Amino acid sequence: MAVEEASSTTMSNGHHGHHGHHDVKGTTTIADSVVASIAGIATRDATGVHAMGSGLSRTLGAARDKMARSDDVTRGVRVEVGERQTAVDVDVVVEYGYPITRTSDDIRTGIVEAVENMTGLEVAEVNIDVLDVHLPDSDDGDSGGSSRTR
């Protein structure tokens, strides 16, 4: 429905390179993976998000990304896509010091704007699971830490 409305309004004068075929009928199907990608990218753009997905999925995903030389933007994202609406669930790790409620609001706002603008689907809900807090020195792998402070 939203796709047809968008087509009729953007094509109203028939001068958009479609040779006047602004009344062409058809359906547009948006795959779950497309919505998940859009939601994943929007989540990563939110202030305070350190990583996405559970610890195990991050570990396995990092190895897979290194071998494939890519980054899976859908890690930690689950979606349900209907004809007119979608629901999004995301798993995140938040940077220490960032207010979790503000980060969650940024995630929700980003997902809703990106998914609705790009797909025309209404985002019915965005559920966020904050799985961990990332501490500033937790990536270095130095278990003692004392040699660095001397």
For the chain, how many helices (H) and strands (E)? 5, 4
- Could you tell me which residues are beta bridge partners of residue 49? 94
The CA distance from 8 to 6, in Å, is 6
- Residue 34 — pLDDT band, cuts 50, 70, 90? very high
Cα-atom radius of gyration of the chain, to the nearest Å? 20
Q: What is the pLDDT of residues 36-81, one digit of tens each?
A: 999 999 999 999 999 999 765 444 545 554 555 456 899 999 999 9
Q: What is the pLDDT of residues 73-124, one digit of tens each?
A: 999 999 999 999 999 999 999 999 999 999 999 999 999 999 999 999 999 9
Q: Are 92 and 128 in contact (CB under 8 A)?
A: yes
